[in-house]
Amino acid sequence: MIDQVIDELKNYDGRPVKIMEVCGTHTSSIFKNGIRSMISPKIQLISGPGCPVCVTPSAYIDKLTEYSLKENHCVLTFGDMMKVKGSKMTLTEAKAAGGRVKILYSPLMAVAEAEQNREIQYIFAAVGFETTVPVYALLLEEIRQKKLNNLKLMTSLKTIVPALSFICENEKNIDGFLSPGHVSVITGSIAYRELAARYRKPFVIAGFEGEHILAAIYEIMTQIKKQRFEVKNLYASAVTEEGNQKAAAFIKEYFESADGYWRGIGVIEGSALRLKEEYGAYDAGSAEEELEEDMPIGCKCTDVILGRINPSDCPLFKTACNPLHAVGPCMVSPEGSCGIWYQNS
pLDDT grade for 298, boundaries at 50, 70 and 90: very high
Residue 245, number of CB atoms within 10 A of its CB: 11
**Whether residue 291 has pLDDT greater than 70:** no
The mean pLDDT value for 66-83 works out to: 95
pLDDT at position 334 is 82
pLDDT at position 287 is 64
Euclidean distance between CA atoms 274 and 259, whole angstroms: 9
Amino acid identity at 107? P
Q: How far from each other are the two terminal CA atoms of the chain, in whole angstroms?
A: 29
Instruction: Give per-residue pLDDT as tens, 270-289.
Output: 999 999 999 999 999 886 55
The mean pLDDT value for 59-87 works out to: 94
- Cα dihedral 75, 79, 81, 87 sign: positive
Instruction: Give per-residue pLDDT as tens, 119-157.
Output: 999 999 999 999 999 999 999 999 999 999 999 999 999
pLDDT at position 264 is 86
pTM of the full predicted structure?
0.92
pLDDT at position 292 is 63
pLDDT at position 88 is 87
